[in-house]
Structure 1
Amino acid sequence: MKTTYQYRLRPNKRQAQIFESWLELCRKQYNFRLDERLSWWSENRCPVNSCSLVSCSIAPPREQPNYYEQKKDLKTSKQLFPEYGDVHSQVLQNVVERVKKVYERYTVPDKNGKRSGKPRYKKVGRYRSFTFPQMKVDSIQGNRINLPKIGLVKMIVHRPIPVGFQLKTTTIVKKAEHWYISLVLEDVSIPEFIPDIIPTAENTVGIDVGVNSFLVTSDNEVIKNPRWYRKSEKRLALLQQNLSKTKRGSRRRRHLGKKLSKTHNKIANQRRDFHHKTAKLLVDNHEVIAHEDLAVKNMSKRVAPKIDDEGKYLPNNQSQKSGLNKSIIDCGWSQFLSILTVKAAKAGRLCVAVNPSGTSQKCSNCNQDVPKKLKDRWHSCPHCGASLDRDLNAALNVKQKLIQRRSVGRHDRNAQAVLNS
């Protein structure tokens, strides 16, 4: 079993300077290795090796840079730039591994035949973490951790590390002006436990996430949407406006940039804390939790443009959709459902995603279609006379969809929980 614990670091002045210098060196190394791969891709991806119109042949393509060749070439970087000798070798190897992953996502299609966008070079301040792929067993000493080539660094242990777990990987992350450490812990003796539970009407609750209310359960429990981003939107707009008026490279611009990043970091922390508390409340009170298998990325996309016969763009209500997209992203449904799944698995409970088709349009009482627009917030069924809140009706449908399955067990694809916190 693997799990991840994150703690805040309190490095001294010398250690903070080392962190900053390592991030900058890793950023430059990342851009260099990425440029090697992208330049080869742009020059040699064409399968043509000779020209039929000219008698001369095209020069043979050079070899494609790969993970192992770039890893060997790190010795050359250390010879040309001695400052790289101060960086731990495995940290630099991890940079090459990151380049390999982003490049393969761009060039190799996934199982659906889709590829990621072209990877971009990291600007100053955009490379925010470095990783130690291997750590010694006794690296953690009380409230300090012994990092290779850096020494003992103080960390705030706000929760104890579970007994029996061994430290595998360590990642140092910079968020705003603070430093954090993510510890990947593993205990081989504990298997990944997925309970075999049969959902029933008594042990199952259905939840429907929304924008007006963060979620509504099938027991008619309503959790309000805190709208963390919306509450700080005016302050963010003012900071961004003042930042745009400053001169690039000036001291005031750096000061306002730090203020802006602090505000964004605070909003993210507030949202994450709310998600953890809400997920714990559901896991403590229910044995089986059913939710919709939402494609949040598709729900928050821009509206497709409308073009008439003359090629002119027509109104497509994108301004209204932009406000809805902002509210959806402010809720953070994907993060919440991920946290909920992990907490349920660790507590021996079950969290299952069901097909969201028809949960809002069908009546939970008679299962008949009752078409509604997004602005219609009340469900009134003309067939059976049921009248209730739209979100409550959807939560009841989600619960019924899960109960209608014969069983949910170890081989259910939606019930496989990845134990990462």
Structure 2
Amino acid sequence: MRVAYQYKLRLTKSQVINIERWLDMLRCQYNYLLADRFDWYERNRCSINACPIVCHLPELRTNPDYYSQKRTLPNLKKNKPWYKDIHANVLQDCVKRVDLAFKRYLKGDYKGNRSGKPRFKAKERYRSLTFSAFSKNPIKGNWLNLPKFGWVKMIYHRPIPDGFKIKTAIVTRKADGYYVTLSLQDDSVTTVILSEEVSNPVGIDMGLKSFLIKSDGTDIPIPQYYRKAQKRLKKIQKAVSRSKKGSNNRKKVVSKLGKAHKKVTDTRKDFHFKTVKGLLDNHDLVAHEKLNIKGLAKTKMAKSVLDAGWGQFLSILSTKAENAGLITVGVNPRNTSQNCSNCGKKVPKKLKDRTHYCPHCGYVADRDVNAARNILKLAVGHPVCNKAYRVSEPIGGVGKKPTL
């Protein structure tokens, strides 16, 4: 099982200078390796499908990949001795980032979706570095030993459980300081857990009027953290646009703007974690829709959809349910708002119609409550009732439909 714990670092002035120097050297190396990839790409491709009889043929060279560029690191340390201060694994992670960015540009991800052309990193755009080799006891009290960097102080607010092993540590520069994210692994805990029966299941319908509505009729109000902070963010953004580029005053205001945006992000994430805890404490099965969030983010509702953070919430729900041995089921959202949850007949209605009334059976309910009950029925394959549903499928994956 893999989990991630994040802690804030309390670095000294000398450590801040050192880590900024590391980040700048890694940024330069990233840009150099990316330029090498672009050079090969321009020399070995042809933009047209035919050439004249007499033409210049560039000298072909081997395609630079992850392994060939990683083999250049020893020569880099010989030619530029100051790179010896950086741990080898940190430099190798820089090569891996270049390889991943270029592969997504040419081939795409596992779904075939291609990313845009990779950009060279500006001074403030390379913000993190990854350590992947540690001693046996890298943590002593509230101190963390980073390879070749030394001991750093952190706010150790969450002790690491016994038996967990640190695999990687990502040090990230954010608006309000430096953070370290520890990736932990525990081989003694299995991620697939079997359950004899699931009691008290619930279906949830995500919305913009309320954050979510349960199939039992209760709802959770939507906080709208970004919309509430818009006035303050607009005021700070105006100060940024009025300040002179490159001035110290602009740097201060930009830092203030970053902290304001980070506060919105942190409060939204805290709300998501608390909402997930409330759901999993009271329900063994949570059914939800498989929403096309990227598609909704391109509509007129984009600001409200992104402010709600449905994608982050569903990701947290899936991870926490898997760790707790509970079930999350994603269902097809097609006609969940149109069908009657009592008789199953389709009752067409527009988005402005907020009450569901079925002319076939006379059932009347709130539109979102009716949708939540349909989601629950699709998840368990049975009308909503208080009986327990027996489950024979492995638990923990979103979209895994339990059998009765």
* 1:208 counterpart letter in structure 2: D
Aligned residues of 1:350 and 1:415 also touching (Cα < 8 A): no
Give 1:225-304 correspondences, 5 Å limit. Answer: 225-302=222-299
Q: Which residue of 1 aligns with 2:387?
A: none
Q: 2:201 is matched with which residue?
A: 204
1:159 and 1:94 map into 2 onto residues whose CA distance is 27
> Any idea what the Cα deviations from partners look like across 1:196-218, whole Å, max 9, x if unmatched?
4665xx52100111111111111
Amino acid at match of 1:347: A
Q: How does 1:48-197 map to 2 (within 5 A)?
A: 51-54=51-54, 58-196=57-195
Q: Counterpart of 1:312?
A: none
Residue type of the partner of 1:141? K
2:322 touches 2:396 (CA, 8 Å); kept in 1? Answer: no
* Residue of structure 1 in register with 2:386 after alignment: none
Tell me which of 386, 394, 397 is aligned to 1:410.
Answer: 394
Q: Note if 1:356 corresponds to 2:355.
A: no
Which range moved further: 223-232 or 77-86? 77-86
Q: Give percent identity, aligned residues only.
A: 47
Whole-angstrom CA distance in 2 between matches of 1:98 and 1:194: 34
**What CA distance in whole angstroms lies between the structure 2 residues aligned with 1:412 and 1:192?**
8
User: How many angstroms apart in 1 are the aligned matches of 2:393 and 2:261?
Assistant: 40
Shift of 1:354: 1.1
Do the aligned partners of 1:197 and 1:409 also contact (CA within 8 Å) in 2? no
- Secondary structure of 1:232's aligned partner: helix
Candidates 400, 413, 418, aligned match of 2:377: 400
Native 8 Å contact 1:236 1:260 kept in 2: yes
> In the superposition, relative to structure 1, how do residues 81 and 217 fare at CA in structure 2: closer, same or farther (>3 Å)?
same
Q: Whole-Å Cα distance in 1 between the matches of residues 132 and 52 of structure 2?
A: 50
Change (3 A) 1:47 1:263: closer
1:69-124 CA deviation, whole Å, 9 max, x = no partner? 21122233333433322222211110000111111111114454332222222222
* Residue type of the alignment partner of 1:72: R
Match of 1:315 in 2: none
The 1:297/1:50 distance shift into structure 2, 3 A limit, reads closer
Partner residue of 1:317? none
Deviation of 1:327 after TM superposition, in Å, equals 0.6
Consecutive unaligned residues of structure 2, counting only runs of 5 or more, are 383-389
Q: Partner amino acid for 1:206? A: G
1:291-315 per-position Cα deviation (integer Å, ceiling 9, x unaligned): 111121111115xxxxxxxxxxxxx
Q: Cα RMSD over matched residues?
A: 2.2
Offset at residue 339 of structure 1 (A): 0.7
Deviations 1:310-333 (A, max 9, x none): xxxxxxxxxxx1xx1101000111
State the SS of the aligned residue for 2:398.
helix
Map 1:331-350; keep pairs closer than 5 Å.
Answer: 331-350=308-327
TM-score, with structure 1 as normaliser:
0.88
Which residue pairs with 1:214 in the alignment? 211
Is the Cα–Cα contact under 8 Å of residues 327 and 396 in structure 2 kept in the other structure? no
Aligned to 1:374: 351
Listed one character per residue, the Cα deviations across residues 345-364 of structure 1 (whole Å, up to 9, x for unaligned) are 22221111111111112111
Consecutive unaligned residues of structure 1, counting only runs of 5 or more, are 303-320, 417-421
Q: Secondary structure at the match of 1:123?
A: coil
